[in-house]
Amino acid sequence: MSNLYKYLKKYKKHLILGPIFKLLEAIFELIVPFVMKQIIDVGIAEKNTRYILSMGGVLVLLAVVGLACALFCQYVASRCSQGFGTELRSVLFCHINSLSMNESDKFGTSSMVTRFNSDVNQVQLGVAMLIRLAIRAPFLVVGATVSAIILKPSMSWIFLVAAPLVALVLYLIMAKTMPVYTKNQRKLDKITSIAREDLNGMRVVRAFSEQQREQRRFEDATEDYSHSVIAIGRISALLNPLTFLIINAAIVTLLYFGGQKIDAGDLTQGELIAFVNYMTQISLALVVVANMAVLFSKSYASAKRVSELLATESSVTDEGNCPVEEDDNAPAISFKNVSFQYGGGGYAIKNLSVDIYKGETVGIIGGTGSGKSTVINLIPRFYDVTEGQLLIDGADVKLYPLEQLRKKIGLVPQQAMLFSGTIRSNMKWRNPDATDEEICDALKIAQAYDFVMQKPDKLDSSVQQKGRNFSGGQRQRLSIARALVNAPQIVILDDSTSALDFATDLALRRALNAYLPPKTTKIIISQRATSIKSADKIIVLDKGEVVGLGRHEQLLETCDIYREIFMSQQKAPHEMQENNQEEEEV
Amino acid sequence: MKRNKSTLLRLVSYTKPYAPLLVLSLISAAVSVAVSILIPLITGYAIDQMVESGVNFKKLMDYIYILIGMIALGALSQWSLSACTNALTFKTVRNIRNTLFQHINNLPLKYIDGKRQGDLVARISSDIDQVSEGLLQGFTQLFSGVLTIIATLAMLFYINWLIAVAVLVLTPLSLFVASFITKRSHKTFAQQAVKRGEISGYVEEIFSGHKLVQAFNQEESCGEDFARLNKQLYDCGFKSQFYGALINPCTRFVNNLVYASVGIVGALIAIGATSSSFGLKPGILSTCLMYANQYTKPFNEITGVITEIQSAVAASSRIFAVLDEPIEISDENNEVITDCDGTLDLKDVCFRYVDDRPLIENLNLAVRQGQKIAIVGPTGCGKTTLINLLMRFYDVNSGQILVSDKDVRTLTRQSLRDCYGMVLQESWIFEGTVKDNIAYGKADATLEEIQNAALLAGAHDFIDKFPDKYDTLLTENGDNLSQGQKQLLCIARIMLTHPPMLILDEATSSIDTRTEMKIQEAFYTIMQGRTSFIVAHRLSTIRECDVILVMKDGNIIEQGSHAQLLDRRGFYYELYNSQFQNS
């Protein structure tokens, strides 16, 4: 948590001034019943009009000064909490961007997004309330009680009984209902999730004519929810009546004993009225305290979650690295006995040793979970190898400044994703100064040129969030083009043509060979054997280990898994059993 | 306004089954307001029994007894008010939800396909929540608020018209302050919400593209973009928080002014400084002071409630818009087909989603029992359209689809759909056990039948490896299963129902090879002797089929057997060659 206080320190002045002014307002508020008592006991009793008017003036003055104090405090609270939240967000944003995949995997995108949005907002709200309420509400409760004691000690026991009693009722009811609220929220989420599930599977539901069953499932969930909301509603409905009951019972008690004291000449009417007034103030303030407790416990939980994220350090750093001199004669990429584990699990890659030379095309193939994507994740140092060494242009990746290393690589990820902006702004990711000509060349190789040019705004066509205004195939081609701008030395395609039809896929592979500079190294991961068939080198992975390495023809003969993959994509299963390898006509 | 009114009336009609609750909560509201008005009055009377010259204890005790009764009544009515409103609200909300869900399940797919799914879910969840918060609970608040204001003013007039006038003079001030602030804060709040949405969208995008941002060294330039958005959020966040925070101090201020003027005017009247003949004792003055305290509060609440009600009306009109969509035409009197023989005829079928964009034109196809029909084409060519027509998710514009020589429109939807077994590429798994998921089409299946189906589908092996086997709980979307395993489960579903016809959708990629082979085998087993339509991607499957329909841009452009189509050297020929050529 201490890593968050740092950002509050800047607002020390705000944090002190705000509550002070709030306190002043509260004090003025506590004076009001006293002034009223004076009006009744002195003004009315002595029939002194001037006294009444001047005391009335004091009341108005108190109201005005109170308002000024309160407004100032609200201003301070808004400045401070919003400033704090803004700075926290900007620090957090940079921090998250600096985390390696190791850490961001651990948290997960959605958790990072929630921490970033709602948790920071909650903490920000907590800071505002800290300034606005944390002092005022408890002070009003204590202050009203103390004022009552000062006014007439012998009557004050009523306050000392009533105030804790109200507090107890508040506590009991909240302790009972709070946990249920979270439970109910989950029941509500369940309703939403059934609705989403049903809409997702609308075709299946209708295909099996199971609408009735879905309806039953949904009605069970809504019944469950409404049942428990109504049940808990009966308890939380007790809150207002019970405080009402206690406070009014206390007022009645005040009247009863007050009557006797007045009869004995021990108390004035004005004093009794002031007591009643203080009692009302206490009940109002206690309700605020109760709400505050809820709010602070939420803010505290959020603060812990934000702080945890902020405290996580990136495991991949390039601190102190100087630009590396590249060795032109070394292999472009060289895996030396590389093994890798994701956070404590088994080996995702084991003893991988392979040299990839400049200008080579390398295919990587294997089933899901065989470690294909892991291999390429190591190259831009998204993760660090667990054992062994990975060299690029003759130097260990750990020696490079990250920017120099990643500049060499044009990466096309499995999930084709664009960023909001325009096509041009996306194409300039590798090089902000890329010319239209360079961009168009890349688009042409990626087979994206035609459809981009058909758009009315061409390169300036807008791209919505994550590129959702483009079809899957278009997104894939654009993300390939993005990686090709500014001639990267290494191009990595991670199963990034799955949404392309075979004809486009073929045209793309041909263009990659024909138009990229000859020294460009290409690494292609694919599920389709045909996509990598003509590579200079094919790496066959199975459960993280290399089970085949060589050209297509070699592997067909020597590698069982490769043959199995290749054949399964060519023939129907019953044909395979016949085992006659009839050549495909071309 | 008129439309708002009819929306409101319609909403109220949903509370009809709970009319007693509604009446009870209105009565409770009235009683609790009455008590809150009477208690200060009686307290005032009681205080006035205590004068220094001597306290009238008999009368004082009478008032105290009355007060105790009032307090008890007040507490009871407050409790019943919130309990009744709560019950009324959530029972009504439950009914609206159930009705809406049922309605959606009976809407034509044409409507649902045309809507964003998130939008429909929002109507079922958050829109209905909005209605419950705003309309139902807001109304009782509005009702008691207005009642409190009127009753307080009436009592003040009854006690002393001068004090009442003093309060009335200040009323416009509280109205003005409340509406000024609410308007301002509402506007800035909306701006803040928009900015927050923008930021959260941006952040979501960048965080999910984490890998790309790093790969392209974009950390800094993203930081700059973010800083700009963040600054904007700070500006409107500050405004919105500040305006929002004005409400309490300002109301308190107006409240204090009302209090002060009641105090001054009351005290002046009490000493007879004015011409009023009505003397005012201190106790009654304190009554007026208490009224002053509770008078301005409802104004503030009411302005808040009105904004809530407005958004609730908007939410409920979104709900009613769905409920007003006509559901599928009833098929109660249609024939139930029980003896489907697996023959199917498409005669001059024409279909278009949008009237001016022809899609399928004069499609003719005669399918004999047991034939296999492949549907091939690039992604997005409209292969699902055909499935939509066969399953009668959509109706043809003209022409006929005949199953066993019967026009599908003369059959009940349920019995028609029972003729088909459908496995889509996006396997649908719902939250429940493996067993439930397999028995989806046959709820009364025995465990033995289910296991048998799983065995035939090649799913038994992996199910058997789960610790809870067939009772393993699957999450929504089946996150704990691989893509391939999900599809095997869906195939097992079909194995259980033995439909005479099949619709299969082959996976394009991203399934590991061995599971894929299992799926292929399962497909092969299940297709034996059944009329099958296969949306196919792999050549091996395609070549096996009796008829191949080649689709492009929604049209069927070629139709024939593998050999025929190759001879034609058309689109199919190109497609076929591109898959097997070297680069």
| pLDDT tens digit sequence for A267-321 | 888 888 888 888 888 877 887 887 788 788 888 888 988 999 999 888 888 888 8
Of B225, B256, B279, which marks where a domain is finished?
Answer: B279
How does DSSP classify residue B575? H
Inside any domain, residue B184? yes
User: B581 and A506 in contact by Cβ < 8 A?
Assistant: yes
Least confident of A243-257, B482-496, B506-520: B506-520
Give the minimum alpha-carbon distance from A387 to chain B in angstroms, rounded to a whole number.
Answer: 22
- B356, pLDDT greater than 80: no
Q: State how far the Cα of B248 lies from the Cα of B178, in Å rounded to an integer.
A: 10
Rounded (10°) angle between helices A502-515 and B571-580: 50
Instruction: For chain A, say whether B509 makes contact (Cβ under 8 Å).
Output: yes
In the stretch 528-557 of chain B, residues with CB closer than 8 A to chain A read 538-541, 543-544
Instruction: For chain A, say whether B475 makes contact (Cβ under 8 Å).
Output: no
Which residue from A537, A527, A184 is spatially nearest to A333, judged by alpha carbons? A537
Domain count of chain B?
2
In the stretch 303-342 of chain A, residues with CB closer than 8 A to chain B read none
Least confident of A245-254, A459-468, B537-546: B537-546
Report the pLDDT value the prediction gives residue B379, as an integer from 0 to 100: 59
Q: Average pLDDT for residues A418-432, to the nearest whole number?
A: 88
Which chain A residue is nearest to residue B75, measuring alpha carbons? A241
Give the minimum alpha-carbon distance from B499 to chain A in angstroms, rounded to a whole number.
Answer: 11
- A580, pLDDT greater than 50: no
Q: Average pLDDT for residues B90-100, to the nearest whole number?
A: 89
Which chain B residue is nearest to residue A316, measuring alpha carbons? B214
Q: Which long-range contacts (CB under 8 A, 24 or more apart) does A467-474 make?
A: A467/A416, A467/A417, A467/A418, A467/A419, A467/A426, A470/A418, A471/A499, A471/B379, A471/B380, A472/A416, A472/A499, A472/B379, A473/A499, A473/A500, A473/A501, A473/A504, A473/B379, A473/B380, A474/A448
Inside any domain, residue B375? yes
Residue pLDDT, tens place only, B398-432: 888 888 888 888 888 888 888 888 887 777 788 78
User: B52 and A262 in contact by Cβ < 8 A?
Assistant: yes
- B14, pLDDT greater than 70: yes
Inside any domain, residue B238? yes
Q: State how far the Cα of A538 lies from the Cα of A525, in Å rounded to an integer.
A: 10
Report the pLDDT value the prediction gives residue B583, as an integer from 0 to 100: 40
**Position A345 confidence tier, pLDDT thresholds 50, 70, 90:** low
How far CA A209 is from CA of A267, B62, B391, B421, B464, in Å, comes to 81, 71, 11, 12, 29
Q: Average pLDDT for residues B271-292, to the nearest whole number?
A: 73
8 A C-beta contact, residue B572 and residue B565: yes
Instruction: For chain B, say whether A551 makes contact (Cβ under 8 Å).
Output: no
In the stretch 167-186 of chain B, residues with CB closer than 8 A to chain A read none
Instruction: For chain B, say whether A287 makes contact (Cβ under 8 Å).
Output: no
Report the pLDDT value the prediction gives residue A575, as an integer from 0 to 100: 42
Inside any domain, residue B140? no
Report the pLDDT value the prediction gives residue A583, as an integer from 0 to 100: 31
With H, G, I as helix, E, B as strand and everything else as coil, classify residue A525: strand
State the CATH number of the domain containing residue B459. Answer: 3.40.50.300
Q: What is the bridge-based pairing of β-strands B372-376 and B531-535?
A: parallel
Give the minimum alpha-carbon distance from A390 to chain B in angstroms, rounded to a whole number.
Answer: 17
- List CB contacts (< 8 A) between A268 and chain B: 52
Q: Which of B57, B207, B253 to mutate to test the interface with A (most CBs of A within 10 A)?
A: B207
Q: Are residues B375 and B524 in the same domain?
A: yes
Of B258, B279, B300, which marks where a domain is finished?
Answer: B279
How far CA A220 is from CA of A188, A190, A197, A423, B131, in Å, comes to 12, 11, 15, 48, 21
CA B139, B141, B144, B148 torsion-angle sign = negative
Report the pLDDT value the prediction gives residue A574, as an integer from 0 to 100: 42
DSSP for B274-342, written as a single string: SS------HHHHHHHHHHHHHHSHHHHHHHHHHHHHHHHHHHHHHHHHHHTSPPPPP-TTSBPP----S
Which chain B residue is nearest to residue A88, measuring alpha carbons? B230
Which chain B residue is nearest to residue A66, measuring alpha carbons? B253
Instruction: For chain B, say whether A112 makes contact (Cβ under 8 Å).
Output: yes
Q: Average pLDDT for residues A471-476, to the nearest whole number?
A: 82
- List CB contacts (< 8 A) between A44 and chain B: 267, 270-271, 282, 285
**Position B217 confidence tier, pLDDT thresholds 50, 70, 90:** confident
**Position B72 confidence tier, pLDDT thresholds 50, 70, 90:** very high
How many of the other CB atoms lie within 10 Å of CB of A164? Answer: 14
Mark residue A493 as left, alpha or beta (left: phi above 0; alpha: psi -120 to 50; beta: remaining).
Answer: beta
State the CATH number of the domain containing residue B257. Answer: 1.20.1560.10
Q: Name the residue among B43, B75, B117 with its Cβ closest to that of A241.
A: B75
Burial class (CB in 10 A: 0-12, 13-18, 19+), A536: middle
Instruction: For chain A, say whether B225 makes contact (Cβ under 8 Å).
Output: no
Mark residue A417 as left, alpha or beta (left: phi above 0; alpha: psi -120 to 50; beta: remaining).
Answer: beta
In the stretch 53-72 of chain A, residues with CB closer than 8 A to chain B read 53, 56, 59-60, 62-64, 66-67, 70-71
Instruction: For chain B, say whether A288 makes contact (Cβ under 8 Å).
Output: no
Q: Average pLDDT for residues B243-266, to the nearest whole number?
A: 86
Give the minimum alpha-carbon distance from A291 to chain B in angstroms, rounded to a whole number.
Answer: 15
**Position A573 confidence tier, pLDDT thresholds 50, 70, 90:** very low
Q: State how far the Cα of B151 lies from the Cα of B157, in Å rounded to an integer.
A: 10
Q: Which of B37, B47, B294 to mutate to test the interface with A (most CBs of A within 10 A)?
A: B47
8 A C-beta contact, residue B458 and residue B521: yes
Least confident of A35-44, A201-210, A216-225, A291-300: A201-210
Residues of chain B with pLDDT > 70: what percent? 92
Report the pLDDT value the prediction gives residue B232, as an integer from 0 to 100: 92
Can you give the residue range of the structural domain that contains B554? 370-383+420-580
Residue whose entry in the numeric block shows the structure tokens 């395979």: A576
In the stretch 422-461 of chain B, residues with CB closer than 8 A to chain A read 422, 424, 428, 430-431, 440-441, 443
Which chain A residue is nearest to residue B285, measuring alpha carbons? A40
Give the minimum alpha-carbon distance from A327 to chain B in angstroms, rounded to a whole number.
Answer: 22
Of B238, B262, B279, which marks where a domain is finished?
Answer: B279
**Position B579 confidence tier, pLDDT thresholds 50, 70, 90:** low
Give the minimum alpha-carbon distance from B418 to chain A in angstroms, rounded to a whole number.
Answer: 6
Q: Average pLDDT for residues B554-565, to the nearest whole number?
A: 79
Q: Name the residue among B214, B217, B286 with its Cβ closest to that of A276.
A: B286
User: B105 and A370 in contact by Cβ < 8 A?
Assistant: no
User: A252 and B378 in contact by Cβ < 8 A?
Assistant: no
In the stretch 32-51 of chain A, residues with CB closer than 8 A to chain B read 32, 36, 39-40, 43-44, 47-49
Residue pLDDT, tens place only, A154-164: 888 888 888 88
**Position B553 confidence tier, pLDDT thresholds 50, 70, 90:** low
**Position A61 confidence tier, pLDDT thresholds 50, 70, 90:** very high
Q: Is the ipTM of this complex over 0.90?
A: no
Inside any domain, residue B58? no
Instruction: For chain B, say whether A97 makes contact (Cβ under 8 Å).
Output: yes
**Position B580 confidence tier, pLDDT thresholds 50, 70, 90:** low
Report the pLDDT value the prediction gives residue B31, as an integer from 0 to 100: 94
Inside any domain, residue B167? yes
User: Mean pLDDT score of chain A, rounded to an integer?
Assistant: 84
Instruction: For chain B, say whether A370 makes contact (Cβ under 8 Å).
Output: yes
User: B216 and A255 in contact by Cβ < 8 A?
Assistant: no
Q: Which two tokens stand for residue B466?
A: 């789960």
Q: Average pLDDT for residues A115-129, to the nearest whole number?
A: 88
Cβ-based contacts under 8 A for chains A and B: 450
- List CB contacts (< 8 A) between A317 and chain B: none
Residue pLDDT, tens place only, B104-137: 888 888 888 777 777 788 888 878 888 887 776 7
User: A269 and B51 in contact by Cβ < 8 A?
Assistant: yes
**Greatest mean pLDDT range, A48-62, A491-505, B290-304, B370-384:** A48-62
User: B215 and A52 in contact by Cβ < 8 A?
Assistant: no
Inside any domain, residue B431? yes
Instruction: For chain B, say whether A403 makes contact (Cβ under 8 Å).
Output: yes
**Position A327 confidence tier, pLDDT thresholds 50, 70, 90:** confident
- B284, pLDDT greater than 50: yes
User: B223 and A94 in contact by Cβ < 8 A?
Assistant: yes
User: A471 and B512 in contact by Cβ < 8 A?
Assistant: no
Give the minimum alpha-carbon distance from B347 to chain A in angstroms, rounded to a whole number.
Answer: 23
Q: State how far the Cα of A289 lies from the Cα of A95, in Å rounded to an integer.
A: 36
**Position A466 confidence tier, pLDDT thresholds 50, 70, 90:** confident
- B275, pLDDT greater than 50: no
Report the pLDDT value the prediction gives residue A142, as an integer from 0 to 100: 87
Q: Average pLDDT for residues A501-530, to the nearest whole number?
A: 83
Q: Name the residue among A75, A99, A218 with its Cβ closest to that of B242.
A: A75
- List CB contacts (< 8 A) between B227 and chain A: 90
CATH class of residue range A1-135+298-313:
mainly alpha
Inside any domain, residue B504? yes
Q: Name the residue among B83, B289, B577 with its Cβ closest to that of A586.
A: B577
Q: Average pLDDT for residues A31-46, to the nearest whole number?
A: 86
Q: Are residues B376 and B492 in the same domain?
A: yes
Bridge-partner residues for A410, per DSSP?
Answer: A491
Report the pLDDT value the prediction gives residue A2, as an integer from 0 to 100: 77
Provide the Cα torsion A203, B380, A586, B504; round to 10°.
0
Give the minimum alpha-carbon distance from A315 to chain B in angstroms, rounded to a whole number.
Answer: 14
Report the pLDDT value the prediction gives residue A570, as an integer from 0 to 100: 63
Report the pLDDT value the prediction gives residue A584, as an integer from 0 to 100: 32
